């Protein structure tokens, strides 16, 4: 069984970060370990104010020390929301300690959406996040985060060529694979574009666009993509699966959009995801 560790906060209410990544990646048949970076009463996105925030940075080296003593190894390390520059440095050390030649490191540089930074982040944090991205095999920014990492202006819509250019510019940070999430080059389509610096290839995967902003879709997308890579899927398959699953979650949310304004209803979609990944695993074992 493949094993992944995901490092991100636990927002007790709001179905994002760990409370989304853990069920999704587990459903894919990947053993999922977690390092909670902070405990928040809710996520910090639009609609919530007055949330609590308990920083767990000091626990991370202690967890790492214990895991080293018991010899834990991971096929994938996937980082999401990180609360401070200091925490970024601690996580970089964790990656240095646990990365092997067979570990894939995926960094979702969670910093904002829809042209706005999430509460509590600033330019210093962007610089710090860039240094974490430099350690990754693969980064998954949305277009807001890509603009922050590149120091360019956010634009609501960019053509596919413009998005590819941004991806190529992001290679200079040092990671081989860049996946631009929430890519919507025209009003009818939404999905993701992957660029591979090693072979110069671009690959796009789109679904029909559903208008509106849906919180937590970035975390769900990154969870499925990371789980897929941990299972050994090729980049195209992992990208197609992530785009399709995220789209299904948004579709499942539409009938209860008013009450689920803070996230998406991924729960009814987990069964199909589990079946698809089990079929992928069985098929792979036949070769």
Can you give the binding site for ligand PXL, defined by CB under 6 A? 9, 11, 16-17, 40, 43-45, 81, 110, 118, 216, 218-219
Between 205 and 216, CB nearer to ligand PXL: 216
Q: Using CA of residue 222, residue 226, residue 231, residue 235, what is the dihedral sign?
A: positive
Between 74 and 262, CB nearer to ligand PXL: 262
Distance CA 175, CA 197 (A): 8
CB of 195 to ligand PXL, least distance (A): 23
Between 45 and 227, CB nearer to ligand PXL: 45
Between 191 and 218, CB nearer to ligand PXL: 218
Distance CA 196, CA 202 (A): 6
Q: How many CA atoms lie within 13 A of 250 on its CB side?
A: 22
Between 83 and 185, CB nearer to ligand PXL: 83
CB of 21 to ligand PXL, least distance (A): 10
Residue 264 CA: distances (Å) to CA of 64, 107, 257: 32, 22, 8
CB of 144 to ligand PXL, least distance (A): 11
Distance CA 64, CA 93 (A): 9
Beta carbons within 8 Å of 285's beta carbon, 6+ residues apart: none
- What are φ and ψ of residue 31, in 5° steps? -65, 125
CB of 219 to ligand PXL, least distance (A): 5
CB of 60 to ligand PXL, least distance (A): 16
CB of 30 to ligand PXL, least distance (A): 20
Residue 275: DSSP 8-state: H
Tell me the pairing of strands 189-196 and 177-183. antiparallel
- What are φ and ψ of residue 163, in 5° steps? -65, -40
Please give the helix or strand (H or E) that residue 168 lies within, else none. helix 160-170
CB of 118 to ligand PXL, least distance (A): 5
Between 218 and 227, CB nearer to ligand PXL: 218
Between 118 and 203, CB nearer to ligand PXL: 118
Nearest to 139 by CA among 88, 91, 194, 178: 178
Beta bridge partners of 4: 32, 76
In angstroms and rounded to an integer, the radius of gyration of the C-alpha atoms of the chain is 18
Between 218 and 228, CB nearer to ligand PXL: 218
CB of 1 to ligand PXL, least distance (A): 27
Please state at what angle helix 59-69 crosses helix 85-98, rounded to 10 degrees. 10
């Amino acid at each position: 069984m493949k094993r992944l560790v995901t490092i991100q906060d636990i927002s007790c209410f709001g179905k994002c970060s760990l409370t989304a990544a853990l069920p999704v990646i587990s459903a894919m048949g990947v053993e999922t370990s977690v390092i909670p970076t902070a405990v928040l009463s809710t996520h910090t996105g639009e609609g919530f104010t007055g949330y609590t925030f308990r920083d767990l940075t000091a626990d991370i080296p202690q967890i790492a020390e214990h895991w080293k003593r018991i010899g834990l190894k991971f096929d994938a390390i996937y980082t999401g929301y990180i609360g401070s520059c200091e925490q970024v440095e601690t996580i970089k050390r964790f990656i240095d300690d646990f990365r092997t030649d067979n570990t894939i490191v995926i960094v979702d540089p969670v910093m904002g959406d829809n042209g706005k930074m999430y509460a509590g982040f600033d330019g210093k944090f962007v610089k710090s996040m860039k240094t974490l991205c430099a350690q990754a095999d693969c980064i998954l920014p949305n277009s807001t985060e890509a603009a922050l990492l590149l120091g360019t202006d956010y634009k609501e819509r960019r053509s596919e060529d413009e998005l590819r250019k941004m991806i190529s510019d992001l290679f200079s940070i040092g990671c081989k694979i860049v996946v631009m999430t929430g890519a919507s080059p025209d009003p009818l389509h939404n999905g993701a574009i992957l660029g591979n610096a090693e072979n110069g290839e671009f690959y796009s995967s789109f679904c029909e666009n559903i208008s509106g902003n849906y919180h937590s879709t970035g975390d769900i997308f990154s969870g499925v993509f990371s789980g897929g890579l941990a299972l050994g899927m090729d980049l195209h398959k992992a990208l197609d699966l992530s785009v399709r699953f995220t789209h299904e979650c948004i579709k499942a949310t539409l009938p209860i959009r008013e009450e689920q304004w803070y996230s998406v209803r991924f729960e009814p979609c987990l069964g199909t995801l589990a079946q698809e990944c089990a079929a992928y695993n069985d098929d792979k074992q036949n070769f």
